[in-house]
């Protein structure tokens, strides 16, 4: 996959036509759709339970650093002819480096064990955890994978029966994450800054810094406070942030007051999003989903994520013109409040629990007894 990223970035950099450029972006976008679930799945399967949240938070931090790097690398694009091609060349370097370095990483012990390659799974655990932890890790792996040898679960089976609850939690979390309006904020933040005569470069830098700070806090707190606390705090903070946006768009605020409320609310929104609503759902899905449905279920959840992402980005500006900022931000804030209620009632805290313990807690008791 990373080789494809590198290849098609090279292709985009050297393309001589619009269709060639679009083809390159199509394949890079496909890779972007594939890589998050695979990365979350891999991190969950190779990380010890005590630090799984911390390790899972490193990905969002890397994403923030990548976005900020892209922002600064792209600054000369308006002044230097053809600089955009250099941006594509540069973006191919991390993909090629990752493709090379992954050759030195251990394969997922869970994946090896499910395919009957126990000796290789032991070797992977030794490489990841050290020799003294191999036997306990293999014993836990044997328990968690017992009864899940079949990998023939149909996609339709994810929508009813014993797996419905965990799949429902995953799909709803990703849906609420996007319906909160986060990508509308990311996509159109420049327009918001421009409306208040704030430099888009300065504004986007502030957005990137808030995103990075929130992701770092999430990494520090993930295995201390837990996933559920971060999700509740994050969605609640996002709801308050949207409330500030509503006030800024109302007749009660004008001039500099409206600017401070709108820009401050947007930055607070990004900060609180990156604290929980951003990094937690992907990590949580890789923890609560049983091994025999994990790949398919995460793919389903991410499909919902990208579909809603697409429509929110597509409809944001038309809705902004048709119903106004005040009502639109009220709708986004309402989804954030709905997310708080949903997390409170449905999300299980997974901090410090093994994948086997999580599965037993979430799946119907009469069925999990066959998995021990």
151-172 pLDDT tens trace = 566 777 777 777 888 889 989 9
Q: How confident is the model at residue 149 (pLDDT cuts 50, 70, 90)?
A: very low
In the numeric block, which tokens belong to residue 360?
Answer: 């037993």
pLDDT at 368 over 60: no
Q: What is the pLDDT of residues 59-109, one digit of tens each?
A: 777 777 887 787 778 777 677 777 778 888 888 888 788 878 877 888 888
Name the phi and psi angles at 285, rounded to 5: -65, -40
Average pLDDT over residues 121-145: 77
Q: How confident is the model at residue 23 (pLDDT cuts 50, 70, 90)?
A: confident
How distant, in Å, are the alpha carbons of 25, 37, 87, 352 from that of 29? 6, 14, 16, 34
150 secondary structure, DSSP code = -
How distant, in Å, are the alpha carbons of 184, 188, 252, 265, 321 from that of 326? 15, 16, 12, 13, 11
Task: Give the number of other Cβ atoms within 10 Å of residue 132's Cβ.
Answer: 8
Q: What is the predicted pLDDT for the residue at 241?
A: 92
Residue with tokens 């890779």: 31
Q: What is the predicted pLDDT for the residue at 324?
A: 85
Q: Lowest mean pLDDT of 35-44, 59-68, 138-147, 235-244, name the range.
A: 138-147
Q: How confident is the model at residue 371 (pLDDT cuts 50, 70, 90)?
A: very low
pLDDT at 372 over 50: no
pLDDT at 180 over 50: yes
Average pLDDT over residues 255-269: 81
Q: Lowest mean pLDDT of 226-240, 318-332, 342-356, name the range.
A: 342-356
Counting residues of the chain whose pLDDT is more than 90, the rounded percentage is 15
Q: Residues 329, 334, 339, 340: is their CA dihedral positive or negative?
A: positive
Average pLDDT over residues 186-207: 74
Q: What is the mean pLDDT of the chain?
A: 80
Q: What is the distance of C-alpha 184 from the center of its chain?
A: 16
Q: What is the predicted pLDDT for the residue at 369?
A: 40
Q: What is the predicted pLDDT for the residue at 2?
A: 63
pLDDT at 340 over 90: yes
Q: What is the predicted pLDDT for the residue at 176?
A: 94
Contact 183, 309 (CB under 8 A): yes
Average pLDDT over residues 213-235: 89
Class in CATH terms, 2-105+153-362: mainly alpha
Q: What is the predicted pLDDT for the residue at 196?
A: 67
pLDDT at 333 over 80: yes
Contact 300, 158 (CB under 8 A): yes
């Amino acid at each position: 996959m990373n080789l494809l990223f590198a290849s098609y970035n090279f292709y985009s950099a050297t393309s001589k036509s619009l269709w060639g450029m679009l083809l390159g972006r199509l394949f890079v976008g496909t890779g972007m759709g594939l890589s998050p679930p695979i990365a979350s799945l891999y991190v969950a399967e190779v990380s010890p339970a005590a630090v799984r949240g911390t390790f899972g938070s490193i990905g969002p931090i890397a994403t923030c650093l990548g976005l900020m790097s892209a922002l600064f690398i792209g600054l000369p694009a308006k002044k230097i002819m053809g600089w955009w091609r250099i941006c594509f060349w540069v973006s191919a370097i991390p993909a090629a480096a990752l493709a090379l370095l992954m050759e030195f990483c251990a394969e997922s012990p869970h994946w090896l064990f499910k395919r009957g390659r126990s000796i290789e799974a032991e070797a992977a655990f030794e490489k990841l955890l050290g020799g003294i932890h191999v036997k306990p890790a293999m014993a836990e792996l044997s328990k968690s994978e017992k009864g899940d040898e079949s990998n023939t679960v149909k996609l339709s089976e994810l929508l009813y029966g014993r797996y419905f609850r965990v799949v429902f939690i995953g799909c709803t979390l990703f849906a609420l994450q996007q319906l909160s309006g986060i990508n509308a904020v990311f996509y159109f933040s420049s327009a918001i800054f421009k409306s208040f005569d704030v430099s888009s470069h300065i504004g986007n830098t502030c957005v990137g810094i808030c995103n990075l700070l929130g992701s770092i806090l999430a990494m520090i707190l993930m295995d201390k406070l837990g996933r559920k606390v971060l999700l509740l705090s994050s969605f609640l903070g996002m709801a308050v942030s949207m409330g500030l946006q509503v006030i800024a768009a109302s007749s009660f605020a004008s001039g500099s007051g409206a600017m401070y409320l709108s820009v401050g609310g947007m930055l607070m929104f990004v900060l609180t999003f990156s604290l929980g609503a951003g990094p937690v759902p992907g990590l949580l899905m890789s923890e609560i989903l049983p091994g025999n449905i994990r790949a398919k279920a995460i793919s389903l959840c991410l499909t919902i994520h990208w579909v809603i992402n697409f429509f929110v980005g597509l409809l944001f500006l038309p809705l902004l013109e048709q119903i106004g900022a005040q009502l639109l931000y009220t709708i986004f804030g309402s989804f954030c409040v709905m997310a708080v209620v949903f997390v409170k009632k449905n999300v299980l805290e997974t901090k410090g629990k093994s994948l086997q313990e999580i599965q037993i807690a979430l799946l119907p008791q009469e069925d999990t007894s066959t998995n021990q």
